[in-house]
Structure 1
Amino acid sequence: MRVFVTGASGWIGSATVPELLAAGHAVVGLARSDRAAAALTAAGAEVRRGTLEDLDVLADAAGAADGVIHLAFQHDVAFSGGFQAAAQADRRAVEAMGAALKGSDRPFVLASGLLGLTPGRLATERDGREPEGDQASAGPDARHATARFTLALAERGVRSSVLRLPPTVHGDGDPGFLTAIVTAAREHGVSGYLGDGANRWPAVHRLDAAHLFRLALERAPAGAVLHAAGDEGVAIRAVAEVIGRHLGLPVAPVEPAHFTWLAGLVGIDSPASAALTRDLLGWHPTRPGLLDDLEQGHYFRSAG
């Protein structure tokens, strides 16, 4: 297939592109900068210049492709206080690409999230599929609404699927939440957790996630929801204990301010199952789980 990938040079995209190429697919990656374009060229992909705001570019690239994997999201905007604007830009991008694929039966795979899907209960692929509400949904539900819209594209002749990612997609070079938690421990001199630290996060290795994106592109049926959960739920206290041991810091409960912008997320209990995904696509994660990956030490290389 000729596959259009947004977010192709990002943390997950830079693993997904080689996965696709190794399987014999041709890749066209969206690049918003010279640096991203150079990385894609070096990886062996074709470059399409543009951003998520360039709806004509997105529609044209999607229409010319045999399938689409949408990984991009304006995280820089979202994390600087503009989450709603980022979510709205994402929705417009999905609408543009979805319209270009209408009636084609070609695959469209959307990256979505698992954190907070069913707090306090093991989430499955059957959760979160309620009919789409108001497009102007606020907060995290704005992204959930876009996921529901994507699933509804199946009724318009698109082989659409939603692949929900854990809050930590870990691996060597991870720029995400786990690195922020390690940084907070260094800065405060304590490896912390909220409450009793028993709340759980699902997790997946970056390379296992990339493999699942390829399987979704190739084989996921229209309207499928997939979970990229290698670990169903790792207790945050267990994470803090590994961090504390590697950094030589005490492990203790802390106040939310310890985690700054992550405070509203670190305390969520949000385990998730991938049993239905494994049965449907034969996905079997082979890379280290979260705690084993932490034990390898690459998250602590800059420790003083």
Structure 2
Amino acid sequence: MKVLLTGATGYIGSAVTEHLAAAGHQVVALTRSAEPRPGRAWYAQSVGDTADPASLAGAVTPDIDGVIHLAPPSGDEDVDAAVVEALAAPLRGTGRPFVYTSGVWVLGATGDAREVPEDTPTDPIGIVGYRPRIERRVLAEAAEGVRAAVVRPGIVYGRGGGIPAILVDRARGQGVPEYYGDEGVRWPTVHVDDLAELFVAAVERAGAGTVWHGVGEPAVPVRDLARAAGRAAGVLASPQAVPVEQAAEVFGPLFAEALALDQSVSGAAARTSLGWRPERPGAVAELVWGSYRPVEVFGAPDAPETDADVAAIRRLVAEVEHAQQNELADRFLSVFRRQDPVWTTGHGRRLSGFEEIETFTRKVLPGATAESTAVYDVERVLFLRPDVAAVNVRQQPVRHDGTRIAGRPEGRPFYILVKEDGTWRVGAAQNTVVAD
């Protein structure tokens, strides 16, 4: 399909472009100027501006097989309605798809209801007050022979962007993680690459007049997200609740209300009917171990294969942390290769061979976290070969609530990892305590 995409240069649009192209579609990006954009996976550009509906005349040419409208709303209902008219009119009577982007905020607070579905009546908060009327305007195109559909994303994360990036920046700037409103606030979330795959599915096969929730996790406690954002920012402190009125001084009243909105939203319909499979790490895991905490990488090309290896290395170190924090000897031992691993502990104990490491682990790990534990963050990865990596890790002592223990020294684990049968494992390890 040749797909006209508005908002193609944005956070979500960039991901949608990549996934459309990977699925074999040709992306025609609607841009404000014809200036080339190197590095974009676009088939072509079409000049137009969604802030000026008149500029969209002729954007949907006869060879356009479908439209995905991702550009953000203008804030003017009449303008947004005129944009829908300009993009949808050329599709009438053709059965070609028109996919409009809304959002779960049109549902308002969901209260005690668990994972509300797409047929839940809308109750929009102020920042999206007129959006349900635009949704209805889009869905009415189904009666005109347009395969019109609406996608409502949850809070989008991943690739270091979206609203969670605000939490990271605030934690770094304020020195304490923040969340807004009540402690029980929950956000429905979706990874930007999972969401992009939903847009591909919608333009390919969503039925006319349908609404889809782009939600991977239905209700993530925002306090957990705030703590994870603090971890990404290097701030190990208890999250702090910020009243909506105080948040409004920073973000404005409309956005502050949105940040404090408690929702539990289902994304099951897209899984069942469109075959959508959101499989990326959850929002908390992505904040702690993913794109919000960059890793210095040396000795390997800037390529998807390197990104995949770094992600796998981070998962291995996350497994070390999880096994240590929960005193899981078998899981801790699983990170080592079986053939001749070596490990020097933080107290200078030299262990050689898997059996010696196993004996030591099973003796010292039970009860080791009775009073405190530690968090592990990958800081640098040097690829000595494609299948051998030297990894610097920062180990910080924390209480069981995740707060930093002041005055206790950090550790600097150093791992030599070996990739065997596609899996990274520890071949050698040196735990070094930082001395002031």
Give the whole-Å Cα distance in 2 for the aligned partners of 1:28 and 1:249: 45
Paired residue for 1:169?
156
Give the whole-Å Cα distance in 2 for the aligned partners of 1:149 and 1:129: 14
Correspondences of 1:117-266 after superposition (within 5 Å): 117-119=107-109, 120=111, 121=113, 122-128=115-121, 140-166=128-154, 168-174=155-161, 176-246=162-232, 247-250=234-237, 251-256=239-244, 257-258=246-247, 260-261=250-251, 262-266=255-259
1:51 paired with 2:49, answer yes
Structure 1 residues 195 and 4 mapped into 2: Cα distance closer, same or farther (>3 Å)?
closer
Give the whole-Å Cα distance in 2 for the aligned partners of 1:17 and 1:73: 16
Structure 1 residues 248 and 129 mapped into 2: Cα distance closer, same or farther (>3 Å)?
closer
Bigger Rg over Cα? 2
1:92 paired with 2:78, answer no
Q: Structure 2 regions of 5+ residues with no counterpart?
A: 296-436
Question: Would the aligned equivalents of 2:29 and 2:42 in 1 still touch at CA under 8 Å?
Answer: no
Paired residue for 1:134?
none
RMSD between aligned residues: 2.4
1:285 paired with 2:275, answer no
Number of aligned residues: 283
Give the whole-Å Cα distance in 2 for the aligned partners of 1:195 and 1:54: 37
CA deviation string 1:208-263 (max 9, x = no partner): 11111011001000011111101111011111121233422432222332462142
Counterpart amino acid of residue 72 in structure 1: A
Structure 1 residues 224 and 28 mapped into 2: Cα distance closer, same or farther (>3 Å)?
same
Give the whole-Å Cα distance in 2 for the aligned partners of 1:180 and 1:107: 34
CA deviation string 1:61-83 (max 9, x = no partner): 22431110000025xxx6xxxx3
Q: 1:115 Cα shift?
A: 2.2
CA deviation string 1:132-179 (max 9, x = no partner): xxxxxx85231121011111110111100000011x2111231x3211
Question: Would the aligned equivalents of 1:184 and 1:258 in 2 still touch at CA under 8 Å?
Answer: no
Q: Which has the higher helix share?
A: 1
1:299 paired with 2:292, answer yes
Counterpart amino acid of residue 98 in structure 1: A
Counterpart amino acid of residue 141 in structure 1: G
Give the whole-Å Cα distance in 1 for the aligned partners of 2:26 and 2:179: 44
Q: 1:48 Cα shift?
A: 0.8
Give the whole-Å Cα distance in 1 for the aligned partners of 2:290 and 2:193: 18
Q: What secondary structure, in the 3-state scheme, does the structure 2 residue paired with 1:12 have?
A: helix
Question: Would the aligned equivalents of 1:5 and 1:71 in 2 still touch at CA under 8 Å?
Answer: yes
Q: 1:286 Cα shift?
A: 1.4
Question: Would the aligned equivalents of 2:48 and 2:59 in 1 still touch at CA under 8 Å?
Answer: no
- Which has the bigger relative contact order, CA under 8 A and spacing at least 6? 1
Structure 1 residues 235 and 139 mapped into 2: Cα distance closer, same or farther (>3 Å)?
closer
Could you tell me which of 269, 273, 277 is aligned with 2:262?
269
Question: Would the aligned equivalents of 1:199 and 1:267 in 2 still touch at CA under 8 Å?
Answer: yes
Correspondences of 1:49-128 after superposition (within 5 Å): 49-64=47-62, 65-74=64-73, 83=75, 85=76, 87-115=77-105, 117-119=107-109, 120=111, 121=113, 122-128=115-121
Question: Would the aligned equivalents of 2:180 and 2:259 in 1 still touch at CA under 8 Å?
Answer: yes
Give the whole-Å Cα distance in 1 for the aligned partners of 2:183 and 2:293: 21
1:13 paired with 2:6, answer no
Give the whole-Å Cα distance in 2 for the aligned partners of 1:252 and 1:173: 22
Give the whole-Å Cα distance in 2 for the aligned partners of 1:163 and 1:113: 7
Give the whole-Å Cα distance in 1 for the aligned partners of 2:257 and 2:127: 13
Give the whole-Å Cα distance in 1 for the aligned partners of 2:266 and 2:147: 23
Give the whole-Å Cα distance in 2 for the aligned partners of 1:118 and 1:158: 28
Correspondences of 1:22-33 after superposition (within 5 Å): 22-33=22-33
Give the whole-Å Cα distance in 2 for the aligned partners of 1:54 and 1:283: 34
Structure 1 residues 99 and 163 mapped into 2: Cα distance closer, same or farther (>3 Å)?
same
Give the whole-Å Cα distance in 2 for the aligned partners of 1:102 and 1:129: 27
Q: What secondary structure, in the 3-state scheme, does the structure 1 residue paired with 2:116 have?
A: coil
Give the whole-Å Cα distance in 2 for the aligned partners of 1:114 and 1:165: 6
Q: 1:100 Cα shift?
A: 1.8
CA deviation string 1:91-115 (max 9, x = no partner): 2111111222111111000011002
Give the whole-Å Cα distance in 2 for the aligned partners of 1:185 and 1:139: 24
Q: Which has the higher strand share?
A: 2
Counterpart amino acid of residue 97 in structure 2: P
Give the whole-Å Cα distance in 1 for the aligned partners of 2:121 and 2:19: 29
